[in-house]
Chain A
Amino acid sequence: MSLGLYRVAIAVLTAIFSLSGALKVVDPLAFAAVIDGFPGMGRTASVALAYYLPWLELISGCALLLAPWRRGGLLLLATLTVLFSGALVLNLLVGSSSDCGCFGAADSGTSPLVSLFRNIALLGLTILLLRRDLPR
């Protein structure tokens, strides 16, 4: 991957994850209702995750802009994307049509399947950048 392409990819990931995190930070209870729709989730866990995950996403996204923190940020974003994708797969398996609310209220028209494909694409890009950044 050329340096130019690498910088563009970092900028794209920063924008996507920071925006996604910020949109959920402003309305944690709406995100909590989405999480609560996933199988096995209780109210306390849903509310706790709804407050925590958006901040994790937002700060990890911003960390990509700082070279020394980039690998840590990419590692967390890859983990988060795997978790979100796993939850979406679980939701699809039990036949729920609930969307992931990945972009807060702005994401309300997206189907779970589209969200899953989007997550897989983001995960692929994150892993690609992580592999490039790891010392050889």
Chain B
Amino acid sequence: MNPIRHAAVIACLAALSAALQFLSLGMGSELPDHIHYDAQTEISIRDVANLESLPLWVDARSRTDYDRGHIPGAIHIDHGAWDVGLPQLLASWKPNRPIIVYCSSEECEASKGIAERLREGGLEPVMTLRGGWAAWVEVHP
């Protein structure tokens, strides 16, 4: 068998595995129960999976904490580096794509401030992650 045929077999095997995983995780049954986030300002990590669109993450912690680790794809924005972070956010954001801002934990206030500033700038929907980075790490150790 030539390498192209082997590659095709591997590709089919991967498609089968992905389909089985998709079905076993019950994604198909969860999709209709979308979270309606129109009037929502805070979201739990559990409800993120049910959003109508995939979220754009904004990390409102310090640059040092962000560099140590962040939610995959998250953009770093804090009040001190607003002019750097905002253009990066706008480059990745699409209309109606939910933005979820998080900071360290339940107690921190930075995410609420950043979320408010983004809303004032006309972006929506913007939410904060309940429990912040600590809640994410709990689910994704």
| Residue in B3, B5, B72, B97 whose beta carbon sits within 8 Å of that of A105 in the complex | B72
A95 interface residue (CB < 8 Å to B): yes
A25 close to B10 (CB less than 8 A): no
Stretch of A4-12, A66-74, A81-89, A120-128 lying at the B interface: A66-74
Cβ-closest chain A residue relative to B57: A33
Complex contact B21–A94 (CB within 8 A): no
Q: Is the interface of B mostly helix, strand, loop or mixed?
A: helix
Measured in the bound complex, the distance between the Cα atoms of B120 and A17 in whole Å is: 43
* Complex contacts, A30 vs chain B, CB 8 Å: 71-73, 140
Q: How far is the CA of A96 from the CA of B57 in the complex (A)?
A: 13
Main secondary structure of the interface of A (DSSP, over half): helix
Contact A75 B73 (CB under 8 A): no
B9 contacts chain A at the CB level, 8 A cutoff: yes
Within 8 A of A (CB), among B101-116: none
Contact A108 B53 (CB under 8 A): no
Residue B1 at the chain A interface, CB threshold 8 Å? yes
Residues of B within 8 A of A104 (CB): 72
Whether B74 is near chain A, meaning CB under 8 Å from some CB there, is yes
- What's the minimum C-beta distance from B84 to chain A, rounded to whole angstroms? 9
The interface size of chain A toward B, counting residues with CB under 8 Å, comes to 43
A63 touches which of B6, B55, B69 (Cβ 8 Å): B6
**Total interface residues in chain B, CB < 8 Å:** 45
The interface residues of chain B lying within 8 Å CB-to-CB of A28 are: 21, 25
- Given contacts A30-B140, A63-B6, A94-B91, are A108 and B70 in contact (CB under 8 A)? yes
- Chain A residues lying within 8 Å of B9, measured Cβ to Cβ, are 72
Contact A97–B6 (Cβ < 8 Å): no
In residues 12-26 of chain B, which contact A (Cβ within 8 Å)? 13-15, 17-19, 21-22, 25
| B38: interface (CB < 8 Å) | no
> In the complex, what residue of chain A is closest to B15 when comparing beta carbons?
A52
Give the residues in chain B near A74, CB-CB below 8 Å: 3
Q: Are B10 and A95 in contact (CB under 8 A)?
A: no
Residues of B within 8 A of A (CB): 1, 3-11, 13-15, 17-19, 21-22, 25, 27, 48-49, 52-57, 66-76, 87-88, 91-92, 97, 140
Known interface pairs A28-B25, A51-B18, A55-B18; 15 further A-B residue pairs with C-beta atoms within 8 A, sorted by A's residue number: A30-B140, A31-B72, A32-B54, A33-B73, A43-B52, A43-B54, A52-B14, A68-B1, A72-B7, A75-B4, A96-B92, A98-B73, A99-B73, A101-B72, A109-B69
